[in-house]
Amino acid sequence: MFDFTGKTVLITGASGALGVALAVRFAEAGANVVAASRKGYEEVAEKAGGRSIGVRLDVTSEAEWADALARTEAAFGPLDVLVNNAAYLRVGTSESIPVEEFRRVVDTNLTGSLLGIRAAAPSMRKAGGGVIINVNSIAGLNAAPGLAAYSSSKWALRGLMRAAAAELARDNIRVNSVHPGIIETPLAYGPDGSPLVPVDRLAIPRNASAEEIADVILFSASEQARFATGSEFLADGGFGLGAVA
């Protein structure tokens, strides 16, 4: 469906469920895949197959971003697509969340994406352009009580995306975001097995599969979306519509 033959794609947070699905989908579409995460990156690259490598990357470290881009270019040449997928979530209200945890969430979700854009843009200029996709969330579009830090980081990430889209437009670099709904992973459930966000009354009354969200990300990074920049792609199963009778 999508053709990324000859394109080089770096995916952060690659060891998570969505990261694995992205690595596999991009590899199937012909891309050179760089699976980047703090752990498990080699296993993800092996699962993706094709022309894939794994690199260690803590997205909050400028030095590790520089190393990841150097290794990417050494293996495949300039970068064409960056998917800022790494994220950290900590439950807590605006009154209860420890300040150090608030900072950690923002450092990973927002500053990590900023460092990714800074590292990727010079490489994409060498390639004549590129695409940056920030994986956002429904918490970046709606009230998210109990997720004060996560929601704050994702709302701020929207501003970063639009600023970068305007700044990099003349370099032929598109910047977009994808806002997934609830993905079917263990993180969607509490310790007692109950869903953290009930979805039975949504327009599409189920959680998304990681592969479904990966397909939306591939579309937003593809030539089929070549006229979209500064755009927000929503794949939330109708969460924003509220309960459906």
Active site residues: 150
Tokens coding 155: 């709302």
CB 150 within 8 A of CB 109: yes
Q: Is 34 helix (H, G, I), strand (E, B) or coil?
A: strand
- Count of other CB atoms within 10 angstroms of residue 141: 19
Cα(203)–Cα(236) distance, integer angstroms: 10
CB 36 within 8 A of CB 11: yes
Those residues whose C-beta lies under 8 Å from the C-beta of residue 46, and which sit 6 or more positions away, are: 52, 54
User: Exposed, middle or buried: residue 170 (CB in 10 Å: 0-12, 13-18, 19+)?
Assistant: exposed
